[in-house]
A and B are shown apart, each in its own frame.
Chain A
Amino acid sequence: MDMLIAPERLELAEAVRDYLAGTHGPEVLRRLDAGPNRDPALWQGLVEMGLTGLLVPEAHGGLGMGLLDAALIARECGRVCLAEPLVESAFVATPWLIAQGQTGDLAAVVAGEHRPLAAHGINGWVADGEGEPLASIDPLRRLAALHEAPSDDPLLLDLGALMSAAQLVGLAEAMLDQAVEYAKIRTQFGQPVGAFQAIKHKLADVAVALEFARPVLWRAAQALDDRAASASLHVSHAKVVATDAAYLAAESAIQVHGAMGYTYEVDLHFWMKRAWALGGAWGSRASHLARIDTAVIGAAHPIGPENTFA
């Protein structure tokens, strides 16, 4: 029994964090928002880091890593509000295709030439799909309506929900950081607004929500990687708390920014909009609560202290 994340896993996520911090700052979001929405060089950079092959077995030229590693990196993608569909392609569609035994195209997937996408029936659209474009509040999500019937495979839903939760945690962390930085420099009544308890306590509540969302996320990622019988319950738990944390972070961050937060001029809005998009994607909060309801109130899952890891 060990709930710690191994240091080497954290090192990989940190390397990705450093890379993204250097190549995917807010100015990239602004440029893509103003321009053609795409920058092939960004995608190529992710490919060169090996991220498109993260979950592809080594026999197929990938890194052969697990869903916990992917969740750690999806969180980093959320943290920078990544403008490329890495998570939906490499961490959701790719492992699902592999689980179905569809390994024919994997070399092209690892090379970043083929970007598989998969949609579950719970959503009528995919991010970055080929199809009829749909306008999203998130200017960089590039939604498309599907031409083909979506899948109803529960594993696909779990993968999508888990990776959305991971990105939501990263988005919330980034929004908290932005609010903290702003609260340090913005002065009113002769002092930084961050010195006021009303602001401090609001941001402390976001820190609490995140502190207790993260371990739920890691536990869900490991459970799904293990294909544990209870994995769907833990994924739903993660999706609900990550969504709640992200909404709380977004609402708190905009409040701390004051009227500046209500403009397109500060960067915060990109993160908020991605959070709104992912909060409902891959199963609404209500649909995930319904799965928890069946397990916990409906007694489908043993609960109580001695069943912490049941």
Chain B
Amino acid sequence: MQLAYTEQQQAFRAEVREWLAANVPPAPLLTLECEEGYHQHVGWERQLASGNWGMVTWPETYGGRGLDLIEWLIFEEEYWGAGAPLRVNQNGIFLLGPTIMEYGTPEQKARFLTPMAAGEVIWAQAWSEPGAGSDMAAIKTTAYRDGDHYVINGQKTWSSRASFADWGFGLFRTEEGSQRHKGLSFILFDLDTPGITRRPIRQLHGHPGFAELFFDDVRVPVDNRLAGEGEGWSVAMATAGFERGLMLRSPGRFQAAARRLVELFRQHEAAAAPSAREAVMRAWMDAQAYAYNTYAVAAKIMAGGKIGAEASLNKIFWSELDRAMHRTAMQLLGAAAELRALADGSINEWLEGYMFSLSGPIYAGSNEIQRNITAERLLGLPRVGAG
């Protein structure tokens, strides 16, 4: 264990800091969940890509910088420390990207990864269906072969980014009559393909952050399938692992929020409940603990290890930390918590953040599912309904 950064790492940090200082938009962007804000964020993705900062861990061939995971953490620390915008392309770069890297053919890698890192194609996920949320193996939407195409029929829901994004990825039933985890394939599709209807769904905050997708005889080339036909479940599980594990939520974001919470507490200290004081310290402690753990996991992966079911512990921890931190802020704000814009005219980021944090324990596999995975796979308790 060596708790100091190398000179090379410090130089890299300085380089990131300098670029961000010159490029981060001075005023916060509109939320990426509304159309105008979405386009502002796409602009930011392209600006990042122009500096080759779109996806720093990817190989240079695909527009990355080939950096290691510790350097990625340093990048993220600087990114969130500088108050840079949320990543509108996170589904692509953090979930689908690593999945293509692992399961894609060379042709697929070239075709999908380069435009992704460049911010040219923004991706939506299409996992859930009306009857298949936490029970994703209940997927019914079909993609049956017709020559060198799949013909897709059915419906997806809660598809993040799908109101405005360019492409989507999801699981489809490619074997007629197949059940549960079998007969599913992982397919990528252009959201403008004829036969796809998007119905934006207004989320808690009032913006159409996700959409329902209706597929009516949608023809998608077989080349858009990732890995073998019928192997979709294991590919999707790998994607879910990326989602719960390392990449989706780097600690920097929570550490930046914890710092803002400390500042908020200092402003409201006189009127704060005694319990708020401890909750604020707890936010800092937990954000730090999450960072240490992430550094350790990154080093483990760099040494050839893998993240297994412990990704579930991670997901429970950061999602509940995020909610607790924002709840504390709401309580510190008191009456002002209800205002959508604060006295200085700025967006009430705590209110927006609180609403968003409520989705954390639901998406990426609900925390109830994560607790079952933890109990069964890490602790060895009997499976639900094992009798």
Q: How many A residues have CB within 8 A of the partner chain? A: 50
- Please state if A308 and B9 are interface contacts (CB–CB under 8 Å): no
Tell yes or no: A64 within 8 A of B by CB: no
Report the minimal beta-carbon distance from B358 to chain A, rounded to whole angstroms: 19
**A77-85, A105-113, A206-214, A257-265: which lies at the interface:** A206-214
Chain A residue, CB-CB nearest to B291: A308
A247 to B110, CA, bound (A): 52
Pick the interface stretch among B74-82, B124-132, B152-160, B218-226.
Answer: B74-82
Shortest B337–chain A CB gap in Å is 21
Within 8 A of B (CB), among A166-188: 176, 180, 183-184
Q: B38 at the A/B interface (Cβ < 8 Å)?
A: no
Q: How many A-B residue pairs have CB under 8 A?
A: 180
Q: Bound state CA distance, A108 and B374, in angstroms?
A: 47
Report the count of interface residues on B (CB-CB < 8 A).
Answer: 66
Instruction: Flag whether B2 is at the interface (Cβ < 8 A).
Output: yes
The 12 sampled A-B contact pairs (Cβ below 8 Å) are A1-B295, A3-B292, A5-B1, A176-B379, A197-B368, A197-B371, A200-B376, A201-B371, A208-B374, A303-B255, A308-B251, A309-B4
Given A68-B1, A192-B382, A228-B3; A305-B310 close (CB under 8 Å): no
| In contact, A216 and B292 (Cβ under 8 angstroms) | yes
What are the interface flags for B304-320 relative to A under an 8 Å C-beta threshold, 1 for contact and 0 otherwise?
00000010011011000
Main secondary structure of the interface of A (DSSP, over half): helix
Complex Cα–Cα for A309 and B387 (A)? 48
Min CB–CB distance B286 → chain A (angstroms): 7
Q: Check if A215 sits within 8 Å of B70, measured CB to CB.
A: no
Bound state CA distance, A292 and B313, in angstroms?
A: 25
B379 in contact with A211 (CB, 8 Å): no
Q: How far is the CA of A15 from the CA of B121 in the complex (A)?
A: 53
The residues of A with any CB-CB pair to B shorter than 8 Å are 1-6, 68, 176, 180, 183-184, 190-192, 194-195, 197, 199-201, 203-205, 207-208, 211-213, 215-216, 218-219, 222-223, 226, 228, 237, 240-241, 289, 292-293, 296-297, 303-306, 308-309
CB of B303 within 8 Å of the partner chain: yes
User: Which residue of A1, A5, A184, A215 is within 8 Å of B380 (Cβ)?
Assistant: A184
A211 touches B317 (CB 8 A): yes
Contact A211 B371 (CB under 8 A): no
A-binding segment of B55-63, B233-241, B273-281: B273-281
Give every chain B residue within 8 A of A309 (Cβ-Cβ).
Answer: 3-5
Q: Are B313 and A306 in contact (CB under 8 A)?
A: no
